[in-house]
Structure formats: structure tokens, C-alpha cells
Structure 1
């Protein structure tokens, strides 16, 4: 469960601190592989335009121009490829969205882990930069929406992580103090750093981080290579015996 730069001191973490009474999860790439779903959706758009090669469109979504989920990335791609028909843009957006949703499935072990946490009667929430309509759609598609009692989305707080506002809003919804909440996320910068600054216990979901080689060391309290290891950490931090 641990790696260089990450602590695995289960006993040390539990000493002198409040037991964990709630969990907060990032959604995309923590519960399911959104990057993989987007890559597949982008390739479907490229194929619809009868263009050769894979992964031509996806790099457009990685640029700091329109935002990671903006359809304007598709428009820029079409412009660079000389595709100008207005109706083609609408078609491309529909293909992209339909294929992306179709590809969303929980990571192996996620469903079983959430079921295990639910048996402990610990509330679970979502904190995401996605809009509520997209978050609900993805959680419904993945079959995971049933596990979560609250959700903080971009349209609710009007700022994105790593701003502290989404985390503070989640604490209000969970009716918990920061040191009673375990934050699980795949991004050291957007999930782990702000949560630690506010006093959360933190778990880095390394299994979902598609760009780990670009990461500077971030001292999350725990590191997961599999969602199935989360209940082990939770047992130590919640003051329960399983």
C-alpha cells in the first residue's frame, strides 16, 4: 500500500486523532477510468471522419486552452483537419459523448470496496470538477450512484479543485470535521494537497493516475495500488475491528 514518499503507519495515524467517520472520493479516474473512456471516444470521432490513426484528437483535450471536457477541443481539431461543416461538429460531439459514457465502468474492486464501506455505516460523498449533470450520468452508468449520500460539483461551488471551497462544502454536507474524513483521489495536486492543508486524512489512488511520472512527491498519508486495499486502511482509522 505504500511507496516512497507515502506513509503506511496505520497505528501511528490512529493515535491521538479522531476516528474516520466519513469518506470523500474524487470521481473521475478514482472510481472509473475516464481517461481511457475519453481516448476511446476521441478515436470514434476520428474514425467517423474517416481519418487514419489513433489518438489524434485526445491531445487536444490536454491543452490548457478550453478545459479538459470542453467540446471546443473537438472544434479546434476539426479546424486543423480542414473539416468545416457545421453539422459535422454536432455529429462529432454526439459520438464523443455517447462513446465516452458507454466506456465508463468501475475499476476492478471498486464495487466490492464501496459495499464493504457501506456495511460500516460510514457516509460517502463525491467531490468533482465535473458539472452535476455529467457526474450523475457517469455515476448512474457505472452503477455507483447508490453508494453516495452527497456530491459537490463545479456548478454548485463555481470553482474547481485545488481550491478549498469544494472541500469545505463537502464537510458541511457530511456534517463532519476535516480530521474525521478520509479523502481518496488520484491527483496529488488537486485532491491530496488541498485536503491535507485542510486537515483531512488522505489516500492517493495511484492506480488511477495516468501521469504518475510527471508528479512531484506529495506526502499523502496512504497510497493505493488497488481499491481493494482501502478497507484495511479504513479499519485502522475508524476505530473498528473487522
Structure 2
């Protein structure tokens, strides 16, 4: 039987196509600073309380963080509407403004995507991420590269917070509408929301991608790219697909890494960033990338 696709490129997103750590630390610190200016709740207190929220949500990218912090709730004494208008909305805008400055693709990403599409126009490019589906699409859309992907696979979208006593939704109506609308940002490709237990380094997420694209049994024609040796390279090696390690994505300034750990549990951080250097026990990739631009040569070499 003829296969639908001859080759397949599957990409991680965070720290593979853009510097997630620098972006997220800058944006969340700006959010905390804005909320401190408004409420007087110190940044350090907000960061500390964020750890528990992120643990409960199972994701460090939870867009309804501020309204879930106990110190903020106590400040507004149950006045949800005032909290949303006075603190949450200005905080959201502060995060968004900082994202405009820091949410940028790595050098060579746009040119590399164009080259791949020109040379292999029928070669699907797939995004496989542990980020929530909506958050992943939002980032790729902001980066201006969503249209280069033929499919996106992400985890469940964020839970909508409600007040446990009044049962009132703690999200402004216009923001709630955007999330419930399940915006696809005019994306023409396949979108699949995976169960939480499909998170990497489990194999079921990548297996789903391979099944959907008729590549089972043809793993030598699949290139899987990610920055995390344990989660990404280890996953690829366990399935037998060709694996490229985005080593450039592990080059994080120590002060930025320390800032990240101030507001996120280390377990959650490992979902988004590789904190450990390469060791003798690390799985070996088929190729090491020191820039995204080297991806074209890796495709030629490996698949």
C-alpha cells in the first residue's frame, strides 16, 4: 500500500522554535509587578502562591493565574468583578505588552520554514507540545509561523476558574468568550487535543501523530526535534524515529533560570525546559543542532 506521506517533520515548540524561558519570565514578572502596583501584594508573595496554582493546573502556562492567588482574592474580599477589572485585566495587558517584545522566533526560523516548504512542499510539519492546545496556537500565531504547520497536537486547554461559594466564573465575559470560542486563528491544518497522560516522555502523543500520518513502521522517514534530552530525545529513541536535539534551546542564562524557579515548581519547569546538562547517561540524538537553520541539512542527512 502506498503511504500518504514520504517524510514527516515533528517539532517541539518551547525552546525549539523560540526562547520560551526568557519570554515567559519577562512576561510573568511584568504581570506580577503590575498587580503589585495595583494591590500592594508583593511580587515575591504572588510568585510563591503561583507554585501551588501551577501544580494544581498541571501546567506552568495557566492564563487565569492572578484570580486564583489567595492573596489577591483576600485583597478584594470576594468582589470578583472589581478584581477582574482592577487587577486581572491590567495584569493581562501588561503580560501581552511584554510578549510583543519577547515572543520572537529564534534566528533563522522563518527562513528555514520557507526553505523546507519550497524544497519539500508535500512534507508535513507537525507541532507536538506539552503546552495547552490553545496556548500553543496563540504563541505560534503571535510568532507568525502557525501557517507553516500542517497539524498541531497539544494538551487539554486551561480550566475556567470559578468561585467555590458563589460558583461565579472568575473571567471577564469577553475573555471567557475567546476561550470558549476555541479559536483556531484561521489555521487550516489538523488540531488535536491530547489527554494529559499523553504528556512527554510518554510515547502515546508521538504515536498518535505517526498513526494519523500513516508513518507507523516507517520511522526512519520521521525526524523528531526537541530541546530536552530526557523528554524529547529519549522519546524519539524509544520509538526508533530519527531524533535531532536542539541544543541551542538549552542555553539559558542562570539568572533567568533562577527567576523561573521563583514562581514555578521544578517538576512543572521540566515540562518546558531542560535544566540538566548533557551527561554520559543522556540518550544520544541522531544529530545535534546548534541553530534552527541547521534543520534543513539534518533533514537531508537523516530522512
| TM norm structure 2 | 0.62
Q: Give the match's secondary structure for 2:130.
A: coil
Is contact 1:60-1:73 (8 Å) kept?
no
Structure 1 213/157 Cα, relative in aligned 2: closer, same or farther at 3 Å?
closer
Residues matched between the structures, number: 218
Q: What residue number does 1:191 align with?
A: 232
Q: What residue number does 1:30 align with?
A: 16
User: 1:126, CA displacement in angstroms?
Assistant: 0.4
Structure 1 204/71 Cα, relative in aligned 2: closer, same or farther at 3 Å?
same
User: 1:100, CA displacement in angstroms?
Assistant: 5.8
State whether structure 2 residue 242 is matched by structure 1 residue 201: yes
**TM-superposition CA deviations, 1:149-206 (whole Å, max 9, x none):** 1111113121321221110111123332332110111112221111210111111111
User: 1:61, CA displacement in angstroms?
Assistant: 6.1
State whether structure 2 residue 212 is matched by structure 1 residue 220: no
Counting only pairs closer than 5 Å after superposition, residues 32-181 of structure 1 correspond to structure 2 as 32-48=18-34, 49-50=36-37, 65-66=55-56, 67-71=59-63, 74=66, 79=71, 84-85=75-76, 86=80, 87=83, 90-91=88-89, 94-95=92-93, 97-99=95-97, 101-102=99-100, 103-121=102-120, 122-155=123-156, 156-159=193-196, 160-176=199-215, 177-181=218-222
Distance 2:283 2:116 in 1: 26
Q: Give the match's secondary structure for 2:75.
A: coil
Distance 1:28 1:183 in 2: 14
Distance 2:18 2:45 in 1: 23
Q: What residue number does 1:10 align with?
A: none
Which 10-residue stretch deviates more, 208-217 or 134-143? 208-217
Q: Give the match's secondary structure for 2:294.
A: helix
Q: What residue number does 1:234 align with?
A: 299
**TM-superposition CA deviations, 1:110-149 (whole Å, max 9, x none):** 1111111112222110001122222221111111111111
Q: What residue number does 1:15 align with?
A: none
In terms of Rg, which structure is larger?
2
Q: What residue number does 2:261 align with?
A: none
User: 1:218, CA displacement in angstroms?
Assistant: 2.7
Root-mean-square deviation (CA), in Å?
Answer: 3.1
Is contact 2:109-2:292 (8 Å) kept?
yes
Q: Give the match's secondary structure for 1:235.
A: helix
Structure 1 153/59 Cα, relative in aligned 2: closer, same or farther at 3 Å?
same
Distance 1:100 1:169 in 2: 35
Which 10-residue stretch deviates more, 229-238 or 46-55? 46-55
Q: Give the match's secondary structure for 2:223.
A: strand
Distance 2:119 2:46 in 1: 43
> Structure 2: where are the runs of 5+ without partners?
1-5, 157-192, 253-272
Q: Give the match's secondary structure for 2:126.
A: strand
Distance 1:61 1:226 in 2: 33
Is contact 2:227-2:274 (8 Å) kept?
no
Q: What residue number does 2:177 align with?
A: none
Q: Give the match's secondary structure for 1:129.
A: strand
